[in-house]
Amino acid sequence: MNKKSSRIFLGLVLILSVCLLFLLSLSLGSVAIPFKEIVKVLLGLPVENRAWQKIVLLFRLPKALAALLAGAALSISGLLMQTLFRNPLAGPSVLGINAGAGLGVAVTVLAAGGGVGGATLLEGFSWFGQVSLVVSSAIGAGLVLIIIIFLSRRIDNIMTLLILGLLFGYAAEAGVSILMHLSVAERVQAYIFWSFGSFSGVTWDSLWVFTLFVILGLLLGFGTVKQLNALLLGEGYAFSMGVRIRRTRRLIILSTALLAGVTTAFCGPITFIGIAIPHLARVLFASSDHKLLLPASMLLGSSSALLSDIVSQVPGQDLLLPLNAVTSLLGAPVVIWVILKRKNLQESF
Amino acid sequence: MMKELLSTKSLSAGYKKENRTVINNLNFSLYPGELVCLLGPNGSGKSTLIKTLGGIIPPLAGELFLLGRNLKLFDPQERARTVGLVLTDIISAGYLKAFDLVALGRHPYTNWRGSLSWKDRQVVMESLEAAGATALAYRYVGRLSDGEKQKVMIARALAQEPKILLLDEPTAFLDIPRRLETFRLLKTLSVHTGKAIFLSTHDLDLALHRADRIILLNSFGESFAGAPEDLVLDGTLEKSFLPEGVNFDREKGSFVLPQELKGEALVEGSGTVKSWTIKALERNGFYPEVRGAEWKKRLLVRIQGSTAPYLWLWQLGDQKGEADSIYLMIRQIREVFLSLEKPEVRQP
């Protein structure tokens, strides 16, 4: 019972920290806005400074919501991949979905020679450029997803699938590097800028699409909670306990591909959250039970994405750090700590 | 005649993709309350057969019936309520407690979230108890020993409340007391619950003494079945299982590694100490009462004392010695024997 109450306490702390970080990310940035004013803006009350209202409503709120969704999506897809492949280092990127999205973007940015999309992209993040980025990375991610799901119908061995996914990733990266080599410096820079990852690309116009897909992916993921627990023992045992292996595998892959694909499309390839957060959730809750791990990873993922975003904005400065650098700097120590604490990652499933 | 729980009709098992048939034309049945051991050399298809019977690998040909109904007609849930499996797969659910792991066996009975009802919990506790794992219930699986883990995995299979239990080498990786314990546990389960238990094993001795029936597979995809005694008496066991250089003692029902014969041993003494002394001498190539051979070496051993400490007096050729332990005696004899065997070392 003591254990149970401590888990409830931990859960409450997590929910509270998500709320706090959410407000903090609205308040901090190149211009600091007092907490009280933030609350007023959110409640629709009159505010002293009209500019603050605009900043919060037009820029910071969609960005914070995007971070919230992206963090949850990435960590859930990481958890699903780790359980499905029974590999502690699996993450949203293992199926080659991120690389596919990267190739899609690279084709648009680097190869669209003189086209309208390519030209506007170079002028920074105009609305049209933004949309074409999202569309092209969604197409790239979607294509890889379709190939993977097609293969998962035919391939029985889950390890083969994992390796194929990795190889797709390499092939897509090879395509990207060829395009980069043939392209001009400015466009390469634009691509690299995309590959840093960012939550600020999400606007109110596109947020609902993002939200819809993330919720769909999460529902699919949460729907397989019982099968995920059975898969902890491997596919042989899961089968013997009555799990429909192929169907479950397809659902999990669909869910993770949706989550990772849509997040990469809107926010760029964000690293480490997907790998690190599930481990953190396991250690914090000392559990392998997905009924606990799914919500825990979601909350932890959202907080870590919000925190990374706050740090990358460097509060009070005009400086902007690449988001991926921040997630890696925050994420790597977590994974190292987990490995050292448990001695053996395999054991911590 | 009791009704069979599982039966196969000209079943062939193997791997379609690799175009490899491991087991040909197998006909056999499992009856309630039976403990059946599957024996065979490595690579004879024991695991393949277990996985085929459990439905993991589809049969290449022939048919497989559970409770008189073709396995193909079972939906996954029904199948899981009928057959429980214990495999050799490595499990890495370190943060799962034994209770939770066993509770996973309730999968075919629970709702979409896998929530446990009061009855589910009761079955889990009963399964743990039946497997002798009650004390492990609240320990993390990652911290259990191999033997403890095996008990928990058996309990997990029992939690499915299956009529048939299939186990793939449940005694591998266990030490001998743990092996005996596992066999005793499975025997008890089969006798008291009426489940049919089918396991593959390399433990010939245990299988010969504990199994109700043995299925023997050889490397050619053939199979033989019968009570252990039947197979011993008609010589099937020796023929199909023994590698060269191993003898089977039909009287004792155990396998013997023949030693190079060094000589004949005459032991004076009585009781347990005598039989253990003979055992040690046999291991070193000295056999009592060997017929039909001319023995150059004759070893005489006299045991003094009727309770410990004993004293062993021995004579080999013109050498004599005494020792206060079997080990010491054997060492002394070995030295003498070596000096007798190779009296001269050739100079290069």
In angstroms, the first-to-last Cα distance of chain A is 23
Sign of CA dihedral A150, A153, A158, A159: negative
**Which residues, including other chains, have CB under 8 Å from residue B20's CB and lie 6 or more apart?**
B14
| Residue B170 touches partner A, C-beta closer than 8 Å | no
Domain membership of residue A259 (yes or no) is: yes
| Residue B95 touches partner A, C-beta closer than 8 Å | yes
CA B131 to chain centre: 18
| Residue B346 touches partner A, C-beta closer than 8 Å | no
Q: What CA–CA distance (Å, rounded) separates B236 from B256?
A: 17
The alpha-carbon gap from A290 to the nearest alpha carbon of chain B, in Å, equals 10
Residues B84-108 have a mean pLDDT of 90
Q: Which of A86, A229, A240 sits opposite B92 (nearest CB)?
A: A86
Q: Which of B78, B87, B92 to mutate: most A Cβ within 10 Å?
A: B92
| Tens-digit pLDDT profile for residues B10-33 | 999 998 888 888 888 899 899 999
- CA nearest neighbour of A246 among A155, A133, A165: A155
B213 phi/psi in degrees, rounded to 5: -150, 150
Residue B276, amino acid: W
Cβ proximity of A303 and A69 under 8 Å: no
Kindly write down the DSSP assignment for every residue of B68-118, as one continuous string: TEEGGG--HHHHHHHEEEE-------TTSBHHHHHHHTTGGGS-TT----H
HSE (CB half, 13 Å, CA atoms) of B140? 13
- CA nearest neighbour of A283 among A332, A328, A345, A218: A345
Kindly write down the DSSP assignment for every residue of A119-146, as one continuous string: HHHHTSS-HHHHHHHHHHHHHHHHHHHH
CB-CB under 8 Å, A236 with B83: no
Neighbours of A173 (CB within 10 A): 16
DSSP 8-state secondary structure symbol assigned to residue B284: T
Quick check: B236 pLDDT over 70?
A: yes
Q: What CA–CA distance (Å, rounded) separates B269 from A42?
A: 99
Q: Give residue ranges of A with CB < 8 Å to any B CB.
A: 86, 223, 225-226, 229-230, 232-234, 236-237, 239-244, 282, 286-289, 291, 342, 346-349
Using a 10 angstrom Cβ sphere, with 0-12 exposed, 13-18 middle and 19 or more buried, the burial of residue A265 is: buried
Q: What CA–CA distance (Å, rounded) separates A99 from B213?
A: 56
Residue of A nearest to B162 (CA): A241
Domain membership of residue A15 (yes or no) is: no
Strand order in the sheet with B69-70: B20-30, B6-15, B61-66, B69-70
Q: Which of B95, B110, B114 sits opposite A286 (nearest CB)?
A: B95
Structure-token pair, residue A204: 């109110």
CB-CB under 8 Å, A230 with B84: no
Domain membership of residue A241 (yes or no) is: yes
**Which residues, including other chains, have CB under 8 Å from residue A210's CB and lie 6 or more apart?**
A66, A69, A202, A262, A266
Domain count along chain A: 1
CB-CB under 8 Å, A282 with B107: no
| Residue B112 touches partner A, C-beta closer than 8 Å | yes
Q: At what angle do helices A290-312 and A273-285 cross, to 10 degrees?
A: 130
Residue B294, amino acid: E
Q: Which residues of chain A neighbour B79 with C-beta distances below 8 Å?
A: 242
B21 by DSSP, 3-state: which? Answer: strand
Q: What CA–CA distance (Å, rounded) separates B206 from A221?
A: 46
Structure-token pair, residue B249: 């003692």
Using a 10 angstrom Cβ sphere, with 0-12 exposed, 13-18 middle and 19 or more buried, the burial of residue A151 is: middle
Q: Which of A237, A289, A341 to mutate: most B Cβ within 10 Å?
A: A237
CB-CB under 8 Å, A230 with B107: yes
What pLDDT sits at residue B241?
Answer: 63
The alpha-carbon gap from A267 to the nearest alpha carbon of chain B, in Å, equals 32
pLDDT 10s digit of each residue in chain A, 349 long?
A: 467 788 899 999 999 999 999 999 998 877 888 888 888 888 888 877 888 888 888 889 999 999 999 999 999 999 998 898 887 778 877 778 888 888 888 888 877 654 444 444 444 445 566 677 777 887 888 788 788 777 877 777 777 888 888 888 888 889 999 988 888 888 888 888 888 888 988 888 889 889 999 999 999 999 999 999 999 998 999 999 999 998 998 899 889 888 988 898 889 889 889 989 998 998 889 889 999 999 999 999 999 999 999 999 877 777 788 999 999 888 888 778 877 776 555 555 5
What pLDDT sits at residue B2?
Answer: 59
Domain membership of residue A162 (yes or no) is: yes
| Residue B108 touches partner A, C-beta closer than 8 Å | yes
The alpha-carbon gap from B92 to the nearest alpha carbon of chain A, in Å, equals 6
What is the bridge-based pairing of β-strands B223-226 and B254-256?
Answer: unpaired
Q: What CA–CA distance (Å, rounded) separates A146 from B130?
A: 47
Domain membership of residue A155 (yes or no) is: yes
Domain membership of residue A148 (yes or no) is: yes
Q: Which residues pair with B166 in a beta bridge?
A: B85, B198
Cβ proximity of B270 and B237 under 8 Å: no
| Tens-digit pLDDT profile for residues B286-299 | 887 765 556 567 88
**Which residues, including other chains, have CB under 8 Å from residue B91's CB and lie 6 or more apart?**
A232, A233, A234, A237, B101, B141, B149, B153
Q: What CA–CA distance (Å, rounded) separates A69 from A19?
A: 13
What pLDDT sits at residue B105?
Answer: 96
B298 by DSSP, 3-state: which? Answer: strand
Domain membership of residue A80 (yes or no) is: yes
The alpha-carbon gap from B112 to the nearest alpha carbon of chain A, in Å, equals 6
Q: How many residues does chain B have?
A: 348
> Where in the sequence is the domain holding A248, given as residue range(s)?
70-348
What pLDDT sits at residue A121?
Answer: 47
Q: Which of B104, B138, B139, B140 to mutate: most A Cβ within 10 Å?
A: B104
| A–B interface: beta-carbon pairs under 8 A | 92
Using a 10 angstrom Cβ sphere, with 0-12 exposed, 13-18 middle and 19 or more buried, the burial of residue B14 is: buried
Q: Which residue has the higher pLDDT, B80 or B244?
A: B80
What pLDDT sits at residue A122?
Answer: 43
| Residue B94 touches partner A, C-beta closer than 8 Å | yes
Kindly write down the DSSP assignment for every residue of A23-77, as one continuous string: HHHHH-SSS---HHHHHHHHHT---S-HHHHHIIIIIIHHHHHHHHHHHHHHHHH
Cis peptide before B343 (omega within 30 of 0): no
| Residue B56 touches partner A, C-beta closer than 8 Å | yes
Place of tokens 């500019």: A51
What pLDDT sits at residue A127?
Answer: 57
Q: Which residues of chain A neighbour B142 with C-beta distances below 8 Å?
A: 347-348
Q: Which residues of chain A neighbour B77 with C-beta distances below 8 Å?
A: 242
Structure-token pair, residue B318: 């013109």
CB-CB under 8 Å, B76 with A243: yes
CA dihedral A21, A26, A32, A33 (to 10 degrees): -120
Return the CA Rg of chain A.
Answer: 20
Residue of A nearest to B93 (CA): A349
Q: What CA–CA distance (Å, rounded) separates B341 from B75?
A: 70
Strand order in the sheet with B298-304: B286-287, B263-268, B298-304, B311-316, B319-323
Domain membership of residue A63 (yes or no) is: no
Q: Which residue has the higher pLDDT, A108 or B194?
A: B194
Cβ proximity of A162 and A249 under 8 Å: no
| Residue B58 touches partner A, C-beta closer than 8 Å | no
Q: Give the domain CATH number at A254.
A: 1.10.3470.10
Phi-psi region of B268 (alpha: psi -120 to 50; beta: other; left: phi over 0): beta
